[in-house]
């Protein structure tokens, strides 16, 4: 999904100076006295890498993941893939209909999330909030929506509203608020105060001040975030059918449950084409909408109006095609609140030690998957960087692999690995690790392409070859960004690993699904609370470490 934001002091103000650097010396001119020196950052990177390796090894050992298991699992997956070939689509019309429903669910969920996120963002932004307490409350709501996985929302909403697309759309919307609300608020805080002060000077009210002085500045960033979130929600919506929330995931689960593997492979290929096509379309839309304005022609305005009109038409089509009454978005709120109320007070005692064992297993899956993801993504991401790849064909092949993996949701990979190697956390860790290639590989490639070319050119000028350039110039510059991306991947993997148990891939997801299915809502509330706390702590820790390395 999109890059992590860097931590900075409120309002961009400089940090207070220290009289020395901790060793009786004055800080070097031009260097932030609160930031560790380069040698300190290198030592921090080494300690962090060493500690990360130890944690990954311990976590992998805890869930029984080792090299012989990986080799045997690879053979099992190869056998399963052999049974899936050749792929088939026994009912193309039905699959096409479900694919269309999936796209419309992703779009409608993102629109609803935007409508919720805009007022939340103004309340959460430090520069527009009416009071710091209001900002803290709004940020808390945004963080909660981001920390609780969308599939968890979907499980609860299906129980409240029944099977169908409406629970899926609402689950996508609520979880998307966690990302859009944060990005919208960050854009508002980064807006220039000049236009707002000019509008305020003519004596308009607060609403007009925000509409005329802030919104025009932040719309480009909001549009980019919206389009990118549609892309993310499409990946999510393809698996909502696993819990009865509509979309093409229901057909995939049905095929796998019936052991009709060629049919399952055909559906997976449809999902692959669908998601890859949406990613390419979203890239084209972002380039079109966010391109610099052409002062000579009115083409830019016409394109923006055309895209806006198409979005409005698609919104109407979404409600009609999905058979959702717009009033149902309001009338369904009491049922959702009723189910949410039944989760209180959260019950952390009924499951006993099984709950804590499952939680530790979830953490182990996330850590192991991150280790696998880093191991596979680092070389692939380097080859996918245009400035590093030894040949354009290598660059194209690496980018294609990353795109293909990104197009397959992790839950789909988990279903395949569970079918191949059996139930348990090993299937979840391997599936999540391979799925990480699409996320971390792209971040590594983008980070490497953005580093200054000077050091690499200097190494080449003295006769250094490709390997020398890589290890002497590229990696030393790119490593802080790569480590930061790896920490962000850990945050994402911990969050994702909480739902893998829904398909039998270990962790607390299975307990959550069973608690909802058997109407033990307070137990489900306890599990959701634990997931929220764990994800929040991991997010805060990884964010703090990234800030130290930046």
Question: Which carries the bigger pLDDT value, residue 52 or residue 304?
Answer: 52
pLDDT category at 351 given cuts 50, 70, 90 is confident
Give me the mean pLDDT over the 459-475 stretch: 86
Structure tokens at 202: 């003519």
With 0-12 / 13-18 / 19 or more C-beta atoms within 10 angstroms meaning exposed / middle / buried, residue 345 is: exposed
Q: Where are the alpha helices (DSSP H) in 18-131?
A: 38-62, 67-84, 92-124
- Of the candidates 460, 430, 535, 527, the one whose C-alpha atom is nearest the C-alpha of residue 490 is 535
Q: Please report the pLDDT score of residue 67 as a whole number.
A: 77
147-200 pLDDT, tens digit each: 888 888 888 888 888 888 899 999 999 999 988 998 899 888 888 877 777 877
CA distance 10 to 31: 19
Question: Which carries the bigger pLDDT value, residue 47 or residue 319?
Answer: 319
Question: Which carries the bigger pLDDT value, residue 303 or residue 381?
Answer: 381
363-393 pLDDT, tens digit each: 999 899 999 999 999 999 999 988 888 889 9
If you search the block for the tokens 């610099």, which residue do you land on? 292
Kindly tell me if the per-residue pLDDT of 96 is higher than 80: yes
18-56 pLDDT, tens digit each: 344 434 444 444 444 444 455 666 676 677 777 878 888
Q: CATH 1.10.3720.10: which residues of the chain? A: 87-333, 353-549
With 0-12 / 13-18 / 19 or more C-beta atoms within 10 angstroms meaning exposed / middle / buried, residue 300 is: middle
Q: What is the pTM of this model?
A: 0.79
Q: Of 295-309, 376-390, 422-436, 535-549, which range is least confident?
A: 295-309
**CATH assignment of 87-333, among 1.10.3720.10, 1.20.1300.10, 1.20.58.1610, 2.20.25.90:** 1.10.3720.10
Q: Please report the pLDDT score of residue 550 as a whole number.
A: 61
pLDDT category at 109 given cuts 50, 70, 90 is very high
Q: Please report the pLDDT score of residue 289 as a whole number.
A: 63
If you search the block for the tokens 């380069």, which residue do you land on? 38
- Of the candidates 236, 167, 154, the one whose C-alpha atom is nearest the C-alpha of residue 513 is 154
Give me the mean pLDDT over the 502-531 stretch: 85
Kindly tell me if the per-residue pLDDT of 113 is higher than 90: yes
58-69 pLDDT, tens digit each: 888 888 887 777
pLDDT category at 133 given cuts 50, 70, 90 is very high
pLDDT category at 11 given cuts 50, 70, 90 is very low
pLDDT category at 110 given cuts 50, 70, 90 is very high
Q: Please report the pLDDT score of residue 7 as a whole number.
A: 38
Structure tokens at 269: 């290929």
CA distance 357 to 530: 12
Average pLDDT, the chain: 81
Number of Cβ atoms within 10 Å of the Cβ of 292: 6
Phi-psi label, residue 510: left if phi above 0, alpha if psi -120 to 50, beta otherwise: alpha
CA distance 462 to 474: 16
pLDDT category at 394 given cuts 50, 70, 90 is very high
**Is 147 in contact with 542 (CB distance < 8 Å)?**
no
Phi-psi label, residue 217: left if phi above 0, alpha if psi -120 to 50, beta otherwise: alpha
Give me the mean pLDDT over the 234-261 stretch: 81
Q: Please report the pLDDT score of residue 174 as a whole number.
A: 93
Q: Please report the pLDDT score of residue 175 as a whole number.
A: 92
**Is 105 in contact with 247 (CB distance < 8 Å)?**
yes
Question: Which carries the bigger pLDDT value, residue 208 or residue 266?
Answer: 266
Q: Please state, for a pLDDT cut of 70, what percent of the chain lies above it.
A: 88
Q: Please report the pLDDT score of residue 177 as a whole number.
A: 93
Give me the mean pLDDT over the 446-451 stretch: 84
Q: Please report the pLDDT score of residue 301 as a whole number.
A: 67
Give me the mean pLDDT over the 308-334 stretch: 88
Q: Of 107-116, 203-212, 251-260, 424-433, which range is least confident?
A: 203-212
Kindly tell me if the per-residue pLDDT of 97 is higher than 60: yes
CATH number at 353-549: 1.10.3720.10
Kindly tell me if the per-residue pLDDT of 343 is higher than 70: yes
């Amino acid at each position: 999904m999109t890059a992590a934001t860097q931590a900075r002091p409120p309002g961009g103000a400089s940090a207070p100076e220290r009289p020395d650097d901790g060793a009786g010396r004055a800080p070097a001119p031009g260097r932030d006295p609160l930031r560790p020196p380069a040698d300190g950052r290198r030592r921090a990177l080494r300690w962090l890498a060493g500690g990360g390796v130890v944690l990954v090894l311990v976590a992998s050992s805890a869930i029984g993941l080792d090299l012989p298991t990986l080799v045997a699992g690879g053979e099992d997956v190869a056998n399963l893939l052999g049974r899936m070939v050749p792929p088939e689509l026994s009912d193309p019309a039905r699959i096409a209909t479900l694919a269309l429903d999936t796209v419309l669910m992703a779009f409608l969920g993102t629109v609803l999330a935007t409508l919720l996120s805009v007022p939340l963002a103004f309340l959460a932004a430090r520069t527009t909030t009416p009071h710091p307490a209001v900002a803290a409350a709004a940020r808390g709501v945004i963080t909660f929506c981001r920390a609780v996985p969308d599939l968890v929302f979907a499980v609860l909403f299906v129980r409240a509203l029944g099977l169908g697309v409406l629970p899926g759309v609402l689950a996508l919307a609520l979880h998307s608020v966690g990302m859009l609300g944060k990005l919208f608020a960050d854009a508002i805080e980064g807006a220039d105060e000049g236009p707002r002060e000019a509008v305020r000077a003519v004596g308009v009210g607060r609403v007009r001040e925000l509409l005329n002085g802030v919104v025009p500045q932040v719309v480009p960033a909001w549009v980019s975030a919206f389009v990118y979130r549609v892309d993310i929600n499409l990946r999510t919506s393809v698996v909502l059918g696993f819990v009865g929330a509509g979309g093409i995931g229901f057909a995939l689960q049905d095929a796998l449950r019936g052991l009709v593997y060629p049919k399952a492979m055909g559906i997976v290929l449809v999902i692959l084409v669908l998601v890859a096509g949406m990613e390419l379309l979203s890239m084209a839309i972002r380039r079109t909408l966010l391109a610099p304005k052409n002062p000579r022609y009115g083409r830019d305005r016409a394109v923006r109006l055309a895209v806006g009109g198409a979005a409005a038409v698609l919104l109407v089509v979404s409600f009609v095609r999905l058979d959702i009454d717009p009033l149902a978005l309001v009338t369904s709120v009491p049922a959702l609140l009723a189910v949410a109320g039944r989760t209180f007070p959260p019950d952390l005692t009924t499951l006993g030690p099984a709950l804590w064992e499952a939680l530790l297993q979830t953490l182990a899956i996330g850590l192991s998957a991150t280790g696998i993801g880093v191991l596979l993504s680092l070389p692939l991401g380097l080859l996918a960087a245009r400035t590093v790849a030894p040949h354009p064909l290598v660059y194209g092949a690496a980018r294609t692999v990353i795109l293909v993996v990104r197009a397959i949701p992790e839950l789909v990979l988990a279903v395949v690995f569970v079918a191949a190697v059996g139930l348990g956390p090993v299937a979840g860790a391997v599936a999540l690790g391979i799925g990480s290639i699409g996320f971390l590989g792209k971040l590594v490639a983008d980070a490497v392409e953005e580093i200054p070319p000077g050091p690499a050119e200097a190494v080449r000028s003295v006769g250094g070859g490709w390997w020398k350039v890589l290890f002497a110039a590229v990696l030393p510059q790119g490593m802080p960004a790569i480590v930061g991306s790896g920490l962000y991947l850990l945050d994402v993997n911990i969050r994702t690993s909480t739902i893998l148990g829904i398909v039998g891939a270990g962790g607390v997801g299975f307990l959550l699904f069973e608690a909802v299915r058997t109407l033990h809502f307070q137990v489900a509330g306890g599990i959701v609370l634990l997931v929220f706390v764990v994800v929040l702590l991991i997010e805060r820790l990884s964010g703090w470490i990234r800030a130290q390395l930046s």
